[in-house]
Amino acid sequence: MIPRWQRILFGILLGSSVLMGIYLFHLHRKRREQLAALSDATPISAPYTADAESVTLAIANDADGSITPAEEQIGLPTEQGARARAILERLLARYALPKSTHLLASGQAVDDVFLLPADVPKPTDTTSVAVSISEPTENVSKLAVINLHGAFVQGHPSGILPEMLTIQSILGTLHNNLPQITQVRFLVDGQQVQTLAGHADLTRIYPVTDTTTQPANPDAQSQDNDTP
């Protein structure tokens, strides 16, 4: 016959095991919920409390290679670099939507935007940007150093057209909303890289201009092709 103290000890151990199992199950479920929340990379607008402002995005279309304007209402911060980042995040978030005309991967694309006087020598990393940055007056032309997330660059479609459309869309959007920005330079995770996804040059400084283009006319193209 099993001694009474052994039965008590066995009951205590069994109860402890059951409680431990319940606790571990609870932790596992909570952890899964946290991971699910982190893996949901659907882009959302930054939670600015400012009144909504009208911005004009330069929307790319892979089907016809065009860049067309589209107005949206978003809340924006007052600091110019933060405004540029918020506008670009809205632009690139739009490309992650299911019916996007220029489909890109979801997730945060722009880590930060630094604004420098346009005649400052080009930086090679964010450390040099941080050292040389000084807030210029509002009337001075500015160079925007756009620091992209590495994951965004790694997931970007490769090809001359999709890469150039992304850059032209960014340049046109900045031109439409922040006219004091006259030049743009790109970094990736704070470092200079050669290309966006194998084609578009990221080592150069781009002039910020109106990149709006109209869709090609299929009838006109057909007539051109038929012309001897």
Q: What is the chain's pLDDT, residue by residue, as a tens digit (228 residues)?
A: 677 777 787 778 888 887 887 877 777 676 666 555 444 444 444 455 567 899 999 999 999 999 999 999 999 999 999 999 999 999 999 999 999 999 999 999 999 999 999 865 545 555 444 434 444 455 689 999 999 999 999 999 999 999 999 999 999 999 999 999 999 999 999 999 999 999 999 999 999 999 999 765 545 444 444 444
The residues near 214 (Cβ < 8 Å, ≥ 6 apart) are: 66, 68
Phi, psi of 14 (to 5 degrees): -65, -45
Distance CA 211, CA 209 (A): 6
Structure tokens at 91: 């632009």
Distance CA 227, CA 39 (A): 54
Contact 69, 61 (CB under 8 A): no
Distance CA 154, CA 133 (A): 28
pLDDT at 225: 46
Strands 181-188 and 206-207: antiparallel
Phi, psi of 90 (to 5 degrees): -65, -45
- Helix (H) or strand (E) holding 31, with range, is helix 4-39
pLDDT at 13: 82
pLDDT at 96: 94
